[in-house]
Amino acid sequence: VKSEGPKLVPFFKATCVYFVLWLPTSSPSWFSALIKCLPIFCLWVFLLAHGINFLVSHRSASRILAGLIFSAVGDAFLIWQEQGYFIHGLLMFAITHILYSSAFGMKPLDLKAGLLMGLVSSSCYAFLYSYLSGPFTYLVAVYIALIGFMGWRAIAGMQLCNDLWTWTKLSACIGAMLFMVSDLTIALNKFCFPVPYSRFIIMATYYAAQMLIALSAVETRDEEDFRKRS
């Protein structure tokens, strides 16, 4: 907390600015896009504060940074989603989930967690299916598969059943779950029915998810050094 907390102060301030200004979504502008993306920009700075050499030499951290970059682009597209840019935002976040999955890695495999996430993802899509039409029928299916896979890799890396887990792995897991809650709320609100306080739920869980996933990169160096020694 002492070492990483101060680096996150700009993120918390930017998040407060977003919620205090609460700019209307009915009038999209570059200013509203900037305010929405500002907390993610601060997470870029948070990771860059650990040093360029650290990011270059540790693939997990650099992939999380790349994921945050694509997230910011996706956020900007979603500002103009009513003007036809929703699919563009969906694509940017799909790439983000691929990058996060790659950062979390495939070890340990944990097939039980994979089966659980498969069931959750399939259930979500089965519920949404009757509300979908046109290209969204398969685009949403692919997106759910990608975020479900990302969630699986985050859960598998946590390893709560033994003494190999760390707080950064736990933050990655919680972050992935919050990301899924945020995106599910978007899907329900857009395709199914109005969700009360949807915007607050979506953005609060989204910002928390991105912060926790960014935090998961902090211990990358120590983990990789440990694997090399082993």
Report the pLDDT value the prediction gives residue 220, as an integer from 0 to 100: 47
| pLDDT tens by residue, 32-72 | 999 999 999 999 999 999 999 989 888 999 999 999 999 99
Q: Is residue 129's pLDDT more than 50?
A: yes
For the record, the structure tokens of 17 come out as 């600015």
Report the pLDDT value the prediction gives residue 222, as an integer from 0 to 100: 47
| pLDDT tens by residue, 100-120 | 999 999 999 999 999 999 999
Q: Is residue 30's pLDDT more than 90?
A: yes
| pLDDT tens by residue, 172-191 | 999 999 999 999 999 999 99
Report the pLDDT value the prediction gives residue 167, as an integer from 0 to 100: 85
Average confidence score pLDDT of the chain: 92
Question: Stretch 203-217: mean pLDDT, rounded?
Answer: 97
Which residues contact residue 175 at a Cβ distance below 8 angstroms, ignoring those fewer than 6 apart? 154, 208, 209, 210, 211, 212, 213, 215, 216
CA separation, residue 142 to residues 2, 93, 136, 175 (Å): 40, 12, 10, 20
